[in-house]
Every structure is written in structure tokens, then in C-alpha cells.
């Protein structure tokens, strides 16, 4: 969007003809097998549907259409492994790999509507697995590779998975970490009897337990398959995936996303928020286990036919300059990472020249973005000056697992930037700040962030729990027709810019990851030594928020060394119950 006048014109267009605005975008951005005639159906609010009589396939839109347009030799993914080895895969190669796995899944009896859980490392294989599911109309549910066997089991059971795709191990920071062993534990916990196939990608060649009736090596499974596979054409409202996120009550909720609306916004927001051009090299540092990896690695860039970098490892290995070295090596022009990563890299850069962005040639960068949590002004300024060379706009993007894509963000080159503010909503997004009764508050007054109209990439329901969906996102207290984001916000008196103030519920944002306090409390209380537990967040200069647990024991309180030992045992316990990201700091 070239400037603020163009932005305002688009906003006015959406306000004037909401359905026409979205219909035009959907026709321009996506390839439809059967064109839609209905745009928005609000008859069963808040269960909205978009483009519902249209038919398409997400994988076709991400792969085939580029190959058919003669861009098959164009690089889709530049994958850099933990150890620095680089693999490039073209659109034609990616399509062939997706088709082979799609055929193999179909041969195992997996088809439209069947759920497949993916518990994979950052890998081209992970992208192939997700796209292969989309190709056959099987909704996937990706579980982040850092989650525990218990968390994986809960998700396998809740979504009713028929298959699990995993790897022997994953490589992070020079260490091999188990995945298959954790998957085996999760399956042994029960409730997963429907899982008939466990497909294993051999990443490290490490030793694994093997169940001959159920387990299959990925490379053996796809070896004999054809590299073409007719896509399953699905209705636009067919679930593309279910992704679990923390809520304020204990159980994680399965956020269900549609095929048409989600894919439209995944592609469109990269064009707008990053000013994407075909010659750009895009790099989003998120993991495919989170929504950011779904939207801005697996679907958005591929739907555009973009070239993107994908990274297996961590930003601090083998040294703190790894990100900057990779931007230089791959000539990255659009870079997207989390404030927590930036804050931890600032510390390293101050201590070691090799970790400082100024030690690398970052002139290829054009736009730099942040995601996952609000960025504090100090980190924003450091990022802008040291990484962006004081010439790249910083797009501080506000959005959520539930929104499917960017909602409030500056437009590079158009929106005047303010450190710490996500500025203004994208065209078509009707954001507002309201009080407890759902009435808008004046600019300058804090309140609750809401979205006033449904949008195409929004959450459709909570998997298997429509009542919880209504209560969580369209509460009666606000009138029942406003989408409740769960974040507090304030708008600037003069500019109307939005600043996000943090969660208004019992959800913590640690390193850009959402954690429910109740979930961590339940994990602690499940420990035989613990009588009661209360979990709160406290500000942390690196991770934004840190988890603090107050624990009452069933026996006398230990002192000194023993107290330290017990605290570490409880941290390990939480890591085992939920995953290392949920470990209390204090």
C-alpha cells in the first residue's frame, strides 16, 4: 500500500461495501475450482462462514498453480539445518514430495475429514506433511516439538487423530532431542486407539523403539508413490487445521481454521504488512508448531509463490550472530522474529562483537517485523538502528492464533512509526477499544480490545466445544457480537494508534508463547508433594513475562540446599507435564 491516502481509501472501501471488499480480495488472491457466489453468512452468528459455496484446495494454491504458471524451477524454501548445511527446494520438487506423501496417506486409508497430528522438527518434511494433509482434505493438528508426552496425548485424544507424523529426533543447538520416544509415551497413555499409523521421518538416525504394526519410516512409505496426486477439492469452510492454544481455563483449546478465509489472509497480509515483491527473500523465524509458522511459513509465502528461508536451529548456536550471519548469507530482504529473540540477542551483542548485527552485511533487508508479544520501545529502537540500519520500517504486528493473520500493524513506507505501537488495523479489520459493557471508550482511555465485524481468517469454533467458543470469544457481557481478543489496549489521543497493554485474563505471554496459569497450576498440584499452587506472571526483561509459582507443600517447608533442589524438581515436573516453555522461573 503506497501511502496513507491509499490506506484510507481501502479502509473506506471496506466500510462502504464490506462483502464486496472481501470478495474482490478473495477472487484476486486465490484460485478457485468452483467460484463462490456467497461472501459472508451471518445467519448463525457467532459461527460465521465465508465464501461457503466456493471450492478450492490449499495445496493447489500453494504449489500447483505456480508450477502451472511456469515457475516450477523457482526456489520455494532455502532450508538451513542446525549445523549450517543448506538445502534448496524448488516449487516443482516440493509439489512432487507433497504428492508422494499425499498418495501414501491415501493408501493408508486416510482421507477427507480425517485428522492427522504432526509432531515434527523444523524441516522441509514438516512443511511437506502439512501440505500433504491439505492436499487430501485431512485437517492437520501440529504440536510444537517442545511439548511433553502428556500435552501431545491430550491433543491426539481431543482432535481424534487417525495418524501421527513425527521424527526420530530433532536437532537444536548441536543437541539431538527425542521426538519418537515422547510420541511413543503419549500413545501409551491411552485414548489414542484410533491412531493406526505412526510415520517417522529419519532426521538423525538415532535409536528408536519400533512397533511393527503401527510404525512406518517416512522414506520407505513414499518410495514407491507417484509424484502426482489430484487435489481433493473442498468447500471453503472445510477445516484446514486445528491448532491448540492456552486458554484461561485449564484445558488447551483447539482453534479451528477454515481453508478459504485462512489462506486468503495468510497471503494478503504478507503483501500488505511486508510489502512483498516476487524478488524478495522472506524469513520468518517461528516454529511450524505455532500459528506464526502456519501462516507465515507453511501457507502464506507458498500461496504467493515466494522464496523463503527456513531454519532448524536456535539463534544462539554456534554463536549469538547466527541470525545476522544467515541474513547476510541468504540475502534476506523481509525478516520476521519475536521481541524475546531480539532482547536476548541485544545482551549477546553487547558482550561479543561476533554477535553484533553491525559485524554483518545486512543491506539486503527491506522490512523487519516482530510478532508474538508487544515490543518494548528500547528493543524496537535497537532493532531499527542495528538490524534495520535505521532505514527499514519495523512492522510490529498484533494478531493471535485465533485471528489467523495480522490484524493491527504498520504498513511499511506508509504508516508513520511509533516505537511500541502496532499503529492501525489493516483494511477490512474493524478494531475498537471498549469498556466492560461493550461501549467504545474515548482515545487515551484504556480498555478491552475487540473486533467489531467478522473477518475471513477468524477462528470458526473451538474443536468439539462450540459453547466454549461462544463464551470465550463472543461473551454476552459485551453484547454477544464483539470478538473479544483477551488483550487490553489504548488508542493514542492524536493519532488513534493502538498500543497493546497485555492480557486481561489469566493467560501469560512468555517469549511470545501463550501459557494458561490454570494449566501450570494443575500441573504443579498433580505432583504428590504439592497441596496447593498459584501461578502469576511477573515482568521479565528478556522474555516479556516470566512464570512465578507459589506452592504450598503437603509437608514441612524445606530450607537451603533442599529448597533449591525441590524447586528444580518442580520445574522439571512442569516441563514433563506441559513442556520446558512452561517452567516457573521463581
- Per-residue pLDDT tens digits for 203-221: 999 999 999 999 999 999 9
Angle between helices 517-525 and 560-577 (to 10 degrees): 120
CB 350: neighbour CB atoms within 10 A?
11
Q: Which residues contact 109 (CB under 8 A, 6 or more apart)?
A: 196
Helix (H) or strand (E) holding 284: strand 281-284
Q: Which three cell numbers stand for residue 220?
A: 520407505
CATH superfamily of 431-503: Luciferase; Domain 3 (2.30.38.10)
- Please state whether 232 falls in left (phi above 0), alpha (psi between -120 and 50) or beta: beta
Higher pLDDT, 12 or 252: 12
Span 550-573, average pLDDT: 92
Judge whether residue 506 has pLDDT over 80: yes
**Same topology for domains 431-503 and 507-582, yes or no?**
no
Is 119 within 8 Å of 152 (Cβ atoms)? yes
Residues 6 or more apart in contact with residue 547 via CB below 8 angstroms: 508, 510, 515, 520, 535, 537, 582, 583, 584, 585
As a whole number of angstroms, the distance between CA 101 and CA 229 comes to 9
pLDDT at 447: 96
329 by Cβ neighbours in 10 Å (0-12 / 13-18 / 19+) ranks as middle
What pLDDT does 58 receive?
99
Confidence grade of residue 401 (pLDDT, cut at 50, 70, 90)? very high
Please give the grid coordinates belonging to residue 43.
445467519
**What does the pLDDT read at residue 519?**
85
> pLDDT by residue (tens digit) across 403-462?
999 999 999 999 999 999 999 999 999 999 999 999 999 999 999 999 999 999 999 999
Per-residue model confidence (pLDDT) at position 518? 83
Q: Locate cell 506464526: which residue?
A: 292
Q: What mean pLDDT is predicted for residues 1-23?
A: 98
Supply angle C-alpha 483, 484, 489, rounded to 5.
120
- 516 band by pLDDT with thresholds 50, 70 and 90: confident
Q: How far is CA 343 from CA 245, 512, 538, in A?
A: 24, 12, 16
Distant-in-sequence, close-in-space partners of 76: CB < 8 Å, separation ≥ 6:
89, 90, 91, 93, 94, 302, 306, 307, 308
The backbone torsions φ and ψ at residue 212, rounded to the nearest 5 degrees and listed phi first, read -60, -25
Q: CA 542 to CA 555: how far, in whole Å?
A: 35
List, for residues 251-268, the tens digit of each pLDDT value.
Answer: 889 999 999 999 999 999
pLDDT at 251: 83
Beginning with the edge strand found earlier in the chain, give each strand of the sheet holding 253-258 in spatial order.
Answer: 215-217, 197-201, 163-167, 116-119, 140-142, 239-245, 253-258, 461-462
Report residue 556's pLDDT band, with 50, 70 and 90 as the boundaries. confident
Q: State the pLDDT confidence band at 330, using cuts at 50, 70 and 90.
A: very high
What's the mean pLDDT when you consider all of the chain?
A: 97
pLDDT at position 248: 73
Q: What are phi and psi of 418, to 5 degrees?
A: -130, 120
Residue 453: C-alpha distances to residues 19, 45, 284, 337, 424 (Å): 11, 11, 29, 29, 16
Answer whether residue 247 shows pLDDT above 80: no
More confident residue, 526 or 276: 276
Q: Given a cut of 90, is residue 505 above it in pLDDT?
A: no
In tens, the pLDDT along 15-42 reads: 999 999 999 999 999 999 999 999 999 9
Q: Confidence band (pLDDT; 50, 70, 90) for 557?
A: confident
Q: In whole angstroms, how far apart are CA 151 and each of 49, 246, 463, 575?
A: 30, 11, 16, 10
pLDDT of 484 higher than 80: yes
Res. 190: pLDDT tops 80: yes
Categorize the per-residue pLDDT at 517 as very low, low, confident or very high, splitting at 50, 70 and 90. Answer: confident
Please, which pLDDT band fits residue 514 given cuts at 50, 70 and 90? Answer: confident
464: Cβ contacts below 8 Å, ≥ 6 apart: 158, 254
- Could you tell me how far CA 580 lies from the centroid of its own chain? 18
In terms of pLDDT, which residue wins out, 305 or 553?
305
Sheet order of strands, 307-311 included: 86-90, 75-80, 307-311, 281-284, 334-337, 367-370, 394-396
Whether the predicted pLDDT of 249 surpasses 80: no
Predicted confidence (pLDDT) at residue 300 exceeds the cutoff of 80: yes
In percent, how much of the chain has pLDDT > 70? 100
What whole-number distance in Å separates Cα of residue 482 and Cα of residue 465? 19
Please, which pLDDT band fits residue 483 given cuts at 50, 70 and 90? very high
Whether the predicted pLDDT of 250 surpasses 90: no
- From the candidate CATH numbers 3.30.70.890, 3.30.300.30, 3.10.20.600, 3.30.830.10, the one assigned to the domain spanning 507-582: 3.30.300.30
Residue with cell 501409551: 188
Positions of E strands within 430-567: 431-434, 447-451, 461-462, 483-491, 498-503, 507-510, 513-516, 530-540, 544-553
Sequence ranges of the domains in the chain: 431-503, 507-582
Contact 134, 98 (CB under 8 A): no
- What's the number of CA atoms in the CB half-sphere (13 Å) around residue 354? 7
Other beta carbons less than 10 A from residue 9's beta carbon: 13
**Rounded Cα gap, residues 217 and 546, in angstroms:** 39
| Strand boundaries in 105-210, DSSP class E | 116-119, 140-142, 163-167, 169-172, 175-178, 197-201
The x, y and z cell numbers of residue 87, run together, are 538445502
Amino acid at each position: 500500500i503506497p501511502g496513507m491516502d491509499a490506506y484510507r481509501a481501502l479502509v473506506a472501501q471496506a466500510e462502504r461495501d464490506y462483502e464486496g471488499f472481501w470478495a474482490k480480495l478473495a477472487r484476486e488472491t486465490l484460485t478457485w475450482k468452483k467460484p463462490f457466489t456467497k461472501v459472508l453468512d451471518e445467519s448463525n452468528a457467532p459461527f460465521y462462514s465465508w465464501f461457503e459455496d466456493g471450492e478450492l484446495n490449499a495445496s493447489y494454491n500453494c504449489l500447483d498453480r505456480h508450477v502451472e504458471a511456469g515457475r516450477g524451477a523457482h526456489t520455494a524454501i532455502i532450508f538451513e539445518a542446525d549445523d549450517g548445511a543448506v538445502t534448496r527446494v524448488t516449487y516443482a520438487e516440493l509439489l512432487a514430495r507433497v504428492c508422494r506423501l499425499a498418495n501414501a496417506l491415501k493408501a493408508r486409508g486416510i482421507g477427507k475429514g480425517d485428522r492427522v497430528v504432526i509432531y515434527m522438527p523444523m524441516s522441509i518434511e514438516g512443511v511437506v506433511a502439512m501440505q500433504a494433509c491439505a492436499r487430501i482434505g485431512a485437517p492437520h493438528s501440529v504440536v510444537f516439538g517442545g511439548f511433553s508426552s502428556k500435552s501431545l496425548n491430550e491433543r491426539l485424544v481431543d482432535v481424534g487423530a487417525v495418524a501421527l507424523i513425527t521424527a526420530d529426533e530433532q536437532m537444536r543447538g548441536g543437541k539431538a532431542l527425542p521426538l519418537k520416544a515422547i510420541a511413543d509415551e503419549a500413545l501409551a497413555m491411552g485414548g489414542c486407539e484410533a491412531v493406526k499409523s505412526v510415520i517417522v521421518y529419519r532426521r538423525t538416525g538415532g535409536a528408536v523403539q519400533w512397533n511393527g504394526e503401527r510404525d512406518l519410516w517416512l522414506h520407505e512409505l513414499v518410495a514407491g508413490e507417484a509424484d502426482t496426486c489430484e487435489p481433493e477439492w473442498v468447500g471453503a469452510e472445510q477445516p484446514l487445521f486445528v491448532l491448540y492454544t492456552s486458554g484461561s481455563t485449564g484445558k488447551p483449546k483447539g482453534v479451528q481454521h477454515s481453508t478459504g478465509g485462512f489462506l486468503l489472509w495468510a497471503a494478503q497480509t504478507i503483501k500488505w504488512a511486508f510489502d512483498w515483491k516476487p524478488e524478495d527473500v522472506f524469513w520468518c523465524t517461528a516454529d511450524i508448531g505455532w500459528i506464526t509458522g502456519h501462516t507465515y511459513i507453511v501457507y502464506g509465502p507458498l500461496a504467493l509463490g515466494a522464496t523463503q528461508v527456513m531454519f532448524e536451529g536456535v539463534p544462539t548456536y554456534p554463536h549469538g550472530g547466527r541470525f545476522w550471519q544467515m541474513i547476510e548469507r541468504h540475502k534476506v530482504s523481509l525478516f520476521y522474529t519475536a521481541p524475546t529473540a531480539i532482547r536476548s540477542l541485544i545482551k549477546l551483542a553487547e558482550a561479543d562483537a561476533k554477535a553484533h548485527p553491525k559485524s554483518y552485511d545486512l543491506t539486503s533487508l527491506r522490512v523487519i517485523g516482530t510478532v508474538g508479544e508487544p515490543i518494548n520501545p528500547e528493543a524496537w529502537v535497537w532493532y531499527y538502528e542495528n538490524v534495520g540500519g535505521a532505514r527499514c520500517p519495523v512492522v510490529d504486528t498484533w494478531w493471535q492464533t485465533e485471528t489467523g493473520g495480522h490484524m493491527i500493524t504498520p504498513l511499511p513506507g506508509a504508516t508513520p512509526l511509533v516505537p511500541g505501537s502496532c499503529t492501525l488495523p489493516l483494511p477490512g479489520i474493524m478494531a475498537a477499544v471498549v469498556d466492560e459493557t461493550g461501549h467504545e471508550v474515548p482515545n487515551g482511555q484504556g480498555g478491552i480490545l475487540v473486533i467489531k465485524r467478522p473477518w475471513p481468517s477468524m477462528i470458526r469454533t473451538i474443536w468439539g466445544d462450540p459453547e466454549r467458543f461462544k463464551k470465550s470469544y463472543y461473551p454476552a457481557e459485551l453484547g454477544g457480537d464483539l470478538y473479544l481478543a483477551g488483550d487490553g489496549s489504548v488508542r493514542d489521543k492524536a493519532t488513534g494508534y493502538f498500543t497493546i497493554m497485555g492480557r486481561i485474563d489469566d493467560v501469560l505471554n512468555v517469549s511470545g508463547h501463550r501459557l494458561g496459569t490454570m494449566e501450570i497450576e494443575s500441573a504443579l498440584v498433580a505432583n504428590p508433594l504439592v497441596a496447593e499452587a498459584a501461578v502469576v506472571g511477573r515482568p521479565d526483561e528478556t522474555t516479556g513475562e516470566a512464570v512465578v509459582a507459589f506452592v504450598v507443600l503437603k509437608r514441612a517447608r524445606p530450607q537451603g540446599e533442599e529448597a533449591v533442589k525441590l524447586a528444580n524438581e518442580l520445574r522439571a515436573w512442569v516441563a514433563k507435564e506441559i513442556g520446558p516453555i512452561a517452567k516457573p522461573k521463581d
